[in-house]
A and B are shown apart, each in its own frame.
Chain A
Amino acid sequence: MLGETLLVALSLGTFYSLLGVAFYFSWEGAGVVNIAFGEMGLVAPYIYLLLLRKGGWPWYAAMGPAFLSGFLWVPLLWVMVKRLRGLATLIFTLGLAFVLQRFMVVLFTVDYRVLEVKWNGVKLGGILWPGPFVVLFGVSLMVVLGLLLFSRVTMKGLAMRAFLQDRTLVAILGVSLVEAKTFFLLGGLVLTGVSGLLFSLFHPFNPFEGLKLTISAFTVALLTRGGRLTPLLVGGVILGIAETMAGFWAGYQWQEGARALALLGAVAWRSWRDVLE
């Protein structure tokens, strides 16, 4: 069963990379430490279910508005980007997280929901890779690799990466700071919606599950600086593997332990790097 577990771990790890990128875009790109990340993400599956079950939309049509649900928060976050800095954004989004939680409880109740994927999955040399995890892996990897290529190959991508490294310099070179911030804000919000929807494929969710997403995203986002996306991809996969394999070898309680250790390790590593620089 090691093969099956590794596939689950790899899928989860790739998903964590996506979470890390989404959080990082908003954090370093737009300057918002978004503690309401998880709650914003969870709005996407709720919108999807609403359109699917109440609205009678076909699943593929309901996906679009759900993916784009992150745009709901654009006006709010834009005001924040313009008026708040650093710790103030963290406090503001912490309050926002509580408001969103209550809002979702009122609208959707605290009942757990799951998006069922009927597809059984694929078999690789006798090893089953379940449908939800194949989707999780495929979509996450496509998005992260796409962004990685974009940031390395295209002029626009290079400019955005440069923005994350030295804002003064890119301003002198003629890159619009407002445009760059808008890019990261909107990009981060779309990725937040995608993350929420993917999370609901393999994890039962209710309005209080957002914190899990935020902590995982924050843990991975700590691993990089200066627009480098590779550490996010690698870090996410390592976290996914560590968490799942701890559960497989040592039991579920160690799965939680691995998650906590990863967060502590990431904070320590980031502090050490900051001191060096």
Chain B
Amino acid sequence: MRWFIFCLVLLVPWPLLGGELKVGEVEPLTGFLSRQGVALHRGLAVALDRTPRGLGCTLLVRDDSSHPPGARAAAEDLVARGVQILTGGYVDSLVGPVAQVALRHRVPYLAPASLMTGLTKGENPFFFRISSGEALLDALHRGIMELFHPQRVAIFYPSTPGATDLATRLAKLLNTNGARVVALERFEPSSGLLAPLLFRVKGKVDLLVSFGFFADNVRMVKALRRYGLKVGEFLGVFGMEERELVEELGKEADGLWGTTSWLPHLPYPGTEDESNRFVEAFRKRFGVTPQPLAMHGYAAGKTILAAARFLLERGEPLTPGNMAKALRKVKVLTPMGPVSFDEGGEPRFYRRVIFQIEGGVPRLRWGE
């Protein structure tokens, strides 16, 4: 009996007992990006609910009001409160300031939704992200050429750093591959006057690519339908997979194209069970089906916990420096694909598929 107890004591993962992790989340919970911020926050919260035994996890949340100064101030506040890792943020104008704070205080920052190339090409060893602009661009470019074979394309993008970067680079790629980009137009998110922009490309293109967010896309599609404008196919890069889009547009949503990393019925192959468990847990906690973007928050949360566990198993303290090192080493499989990072903090893999709405449901058309 004594030997049995001794063996049990030896088997207990002692390093897992007593670890305390404080996660700081800066999210646009109000303002024009609140829809995205709330989705990311909820996904993160579901992931952190599954904290492994022996690890205490506290989530401190701050709202940046969708404004860069708010993001900077929130990150400073969280660092002052002793968080070991920062996360959250949507669009690079909000992610950038938090990344700067992370670098200054040498605290790792895992951004769930950031795309601008420059952020992982610079000298910030504390910056990591779940999404990848390069991978998205590659999927967009190949998907567009294979699905639409377009002759003339219009690209509209909001004046955010990530969207600007991606839109201009996509235009170059398409131009060099035989498709002619006849309009590359920037617009202000939540602008009141999108119609004149659409009039400019009416009948001149066979594909309109919009980098706008959910509300911009809804208003664009409504204006297209109201005026009966023909712009060929409409591909919205962000927010087209949201359930509310179909609710807003009804039958007018059919035929529209979008891209996504995850949907409850389109998980990464082999992760169906985990995807279903996530949907269940999300519904139980928030009473609604998860928005697709919530998976980015979930993936960030799962990766943070994996890094903490990695350290505890090796008996190393959960310091910000160690968390940064651990993030470089962990490999996590999530329902939106595997997550691991290169030296610059860029993900080695980022899944993006193209779908078309049919009967109110997004159907996979390109990618897997």
Interface residues of A (CB under 8 A from B): 1, 4-5, 8, 12, 105, 109-112, 120-121, 128, 130, 202-204, 206, 244-245, 247-249, 251-253, 255-256
Contact = CB atoms under 8 A, between A and B. Distances in A.
Contact of B199 (A1, A206, A255): A1
Given A112-B32, A204-B190, 4 more contacts: A5-B199, A121-B226, A128-B226, A255-B196
Interface in B159-196: 183, 185-188, 190-193, 195-196
Given A4-B199, A130-B226, A252-B186, A244 B193 contact: yes
Contact of A4 (B188, B195, B197): B195
Contacts of B270: none
A12 B193 CA distance: 10
B192 A202 contact: yes
Of B31, B183, B192, B200, the most chain A CB neighbours within 10 A belong to B192
Interface of B: 30-32, 34, 65-67, 183, 185-188, 190-193, 195-197, 199-200, 202, 215, 226-227, 229
A245 B200 CA distance: 11
Contacts of B193: 8, 12, 202, 244, 247, 255
A248 B192 contact: no
A203 B190 CA distance: 8
Contacts of A202: 192-193
A202 B193 CA distance: 8
Contacts of A109: 30-31, 34
B26 to A, nearest CB: 15
Contacts of B192: 202-204
A112 B190 contact: yes
Q: Which of A5, A121, A245 has the most chain B CB atoms closer than 10 A to its own CB?
A: A5
Contacts of B197: 247, 251-252
Contact of B196 (A110, A248, A253): A248
A30 B215 CA distance: 40
Residue among A5, A121, A247, A253 with the most chain B CB within 10 A?
Answer: A247
Nearest to A249: B200
